[in-house]
Amino acid sequence: MDTLTGTLLAICVAAVLLLVAYKKGFLTNTGILASFISAVIIAYCGNFWWFAAYMLFPIMAFAATFTKIKKKKAMGLQEGKAGERGHMNILGVGLIPTIVSVVYFIDDGGASPYLTVAFLAAIAVSVADTTSSEIGVFDKDVWMITTLKKTEPGINGGISRLGLVSSAITSLVFAILSYALVFHCLDWRILIVWVCGMVGNLLDSVVGAVWENKGRISKYGNNIVTALSGAVIGFLLCLIVN
């Protein structure tokens, strides 16, 4: 599929998905705009299959976000007013994958598959983090990652068995599906994407406990830092093992 055809197809698919997101109240208006821009850039600079892999994130994220949303609202732990995401959420999740796609475009695919794995690893971090946060809030047993002392559900830096297990499962599912979409095959590098997702998720909790709770970094900044860490670790692991 050539670049123009892939980009036009991505625009059509993105428009349909974002229309559904708008109707369902999954995204704010600015969130829709930010999502569309990042999706088009990724489709043009990467290819249609990069875009398809990127679109797996909102599908999985919203499934986790709106799981028992009424209970989350009653607990005061929902995202936004009713689970919706805005442009800052999209920036936190999409900035690093978008930058990686631009680097890939400038390099003309020269560092492939390393940059491709880095791209998927960055998204895997967001998948693991979102699932861990959205599902983990239902676990009453939560520990602060830096002290291992009991804490309240939903607090930055808190980890739970339910959150860790759910993030491990969803990041593995993402790794398999996204890798198959982009590479049209399955091989051992799926494990790199999965491991990066899990490591990035734990790093998100550490950053949350050490800096976010003290107001030194926003949750969006935390998302960007951990997505970047996932991309860098994924790139280096792929480079070293190969």
What is the 3-state secondary structure of 125-158? HHHHHHHHHHHHCCCCCEEECCCCCEECCCCCCE
Domain ranges of the chain: 3-241
Q: pTM to 2 decimals?
A: 0.92
Task: Could you list the beta-strand ranges (E) of the chain.
Answer: 142-144, 150-151, 158-159
Digit-by-digit pLDDT tens for the chain (242 residues) are: 788 899 999 999 999 999 988 888 888 899 999 999 999 999 999 999 999 999 999 999 888 887 777 776 676 666 556 557 788 989 999 999 999 999 999 988 666 789 999 999 999 999 999 999 888 888 888 999 999 999 888 788 999 999 999 999 999 999 999 999 999 999 999 999 999 999 999 999 999 999 998 889 998 999 999 999 999 999 999 989 87
